Amino acid sequence: MSDPLIALTLLAVLIALLASGLWVAISLSIVGLVGLVAFSNAPSGLILATTFWGHSHSWALTALPLFILMGEILLRSRMSDDMFTGLVPWLSRAPGRLLHVNVFGCAIFAAVSGSSAATAATIGRMSIPELTKRGYPESLILGTLAGSATLGLLIPPSIILIVYGVATEQSIARLFIAGILPGVMLISLFAGYVAVRAWMNPDLIPPVEQQFSFKEKVMASRRLLPVALLIGGVIGSIYGGLASPTDAAALGVVLATILAWASGSFSWALFADAVMSATRTSCMIALILLGAAFLSISMGFTGLPRNLAAWISDMDLSVTALLVALTLFFIVLGCFLDGISVIVLTTSIIMPMVTAVGIDPLWFGIYLVIVVEMSQITPPVGFNLFVIQGLTGIDILRIAKAAFPFFLLLLAGVILICIFPQIVTALPNLMNR
């Protein structure tokens, strides 16, 4: 059977399994088995056993459950409320006023949680009632929250960057640092959009409710110190070369626990709940990675990735043409799969094409995460949309419509890093000096 027919057959099997509601990890494993049994002479049972065993104890992956646990601890503490209190005095007179709390609150929480869904849930639980009560327009409340929460995938420590690093054997520390400037770029785009909307239509934004003196702003900022300490401890230790991502994750769990206890809002019951939730999430991701690893190896035995890379190389596509095609492909795929599944499902096939045209795998990781961020706010499987729908009860299509401008801003972010790749590579290059 020719390579295109093999690829179409395996794709049809995968779509059928996913459409039936089967777990992503099991679906990937079954497709891998079908590929080995039907299109190769390799011993499928032996390869399945050795792959699952060999990939079940990856030291690089140890950081994943630790960062997830850190986010779960913070999710159950009072630190999100402290963040709101600390940001309001500084943003109350900015163009767009308290809508910026969604943008900067999500950015700050993203830097300590690593999860887009956790960021949307935590900041949304706090900001939606407050902003609604103050009379801010629903579309901007929902849009800023849905769009800004996607920063949880990019700003380190990012869970999805750990998954990409493990799947492609890239340095997780360098990926973390590479995500900082693109994260700042997206924050600026989101805040700029809110400011422009406020300038164009001042009637959208309620008037200033309270004036704050400089002293009151500084006093309120003390509420932000615990979060700043946590961010500085985790990211600073990695960038300074003092700790690996795994060591920094362990430090983050310790600091998050201490700060949560110090806030007076934490208990042993909440800690146990955080551990169980982190365990469930970590096991789900680990199982997906095992299925993806087996699929990747089985595809190697069929020869599909190698032949596909050679085919792309023979087409002599420019880097720009390939990136446009991949962006469209990932946006469509992200409409039906979550971000982690998109990455583990595609990297084994996509990376040979990427390296064949000379694209830096480190840069491509950040590009891929931003494109996956776009899928978090596109129906039908936009996880941020589901989270916000659960918080508000609002129809998911209304939320998606409110988030659409931020989808376009994320697309603008992709274009900017394509034109100026130094946005991604500048800080990682400094780490080598």
The SS3 call for residue 242 is: coil
% residues pLDDT > 90 (the chain): 14
pLDDT at residue 203 above 70?
A: yes
419 has pLDDT over 90: yes
Indicate the DSSP class of residue 179: T
CB count within 10 Å of CB 290 equals 21
**For residues 12 and 121, which has the higher predicted lDDT (pLDDT)?**
12
Does the structure show a pLDDT above 90 at 418? yes
Q: How far is CA 204 from the centre of its chain?
A: 30
Q: What is the pLDDT of residues 10-50, one digit of tens each?
A: 878 877 887 787 877 788 789 888 888 888 888 888 888 88
Joined tokens for residue 331: 């946006």
What ranges do the domains of the chain cover? 3-9+25-31+43-432
Q: What is the pLDDT of residue 243?
A: 77
Amino acid identity, position 248? A
Read off the pLDDT of each residue in 352-376 and give the average, rounded to a whole number: 87
Which candidate, 327, 424, 324, 325, places its Cα nearest to that of 375?
327
- Angle between helix 268-302 and 63-75 (nearest 10): 140
Q: CA nearest 183: which of 157, 145, 162? A: 157
CB 376 within 8 A of CB 331: no
pLDDT number for residue 405: 93
Would you state the pLDDT for residue 16?
85
Tens digit of pLDDT for each residue in 313-351? 667 778 888 888 888 888 877 766 667 777 877 787 788
CA atoms of 218 and 231, how far apart (whole Å): 19
In the predicted structure, residue 103 carries a pLDDT above the cut 60: yes
| pLDDT above 90: residue 106 | no
Is the pLDDT at 390 greater than 90, yes or no? no
**Dist. CA 39–CA 233, nearest whole Å:** 50
Give the pLDDT confidence of 184-201 residue by residue, as tens digits.
999 999 999 999 988 888
Residue 217 reports pLDDT greater than 80:
no
Per-residue pLDDT at 225 exceeds 70:
yes
Answer whether residue 415 shows pLDDT above 80.
Answer: yes
The answer on pLDDT for 310 being more than 70 is no
| CA–CA distance, 69 with 75 (Å, rounded to integer) | 10
- Cα–Cα distance between 36 and 48 in angstroms, integer? 10
Q: Shortest CA distance to 56 belongs to which of 289, 298, 339, 247?
A: 289
Do 144 and 99 form a contact (C-beta atoms < 8 A)? Answer: yes
Q: Indicate if the pLDDT at residue 432 is higher than 60.
A: no
The model's pLDDT over 260-289, given as tens digits with 9 standing for 90+, comes to 888 777 788 888 998 998 888 778 777 877
- When pLDDT is averaged across residues 155-160 and rounded to a whole number, the result is 82
Backbone angles phi and psi of 240, in degrees to 5: -80, -5
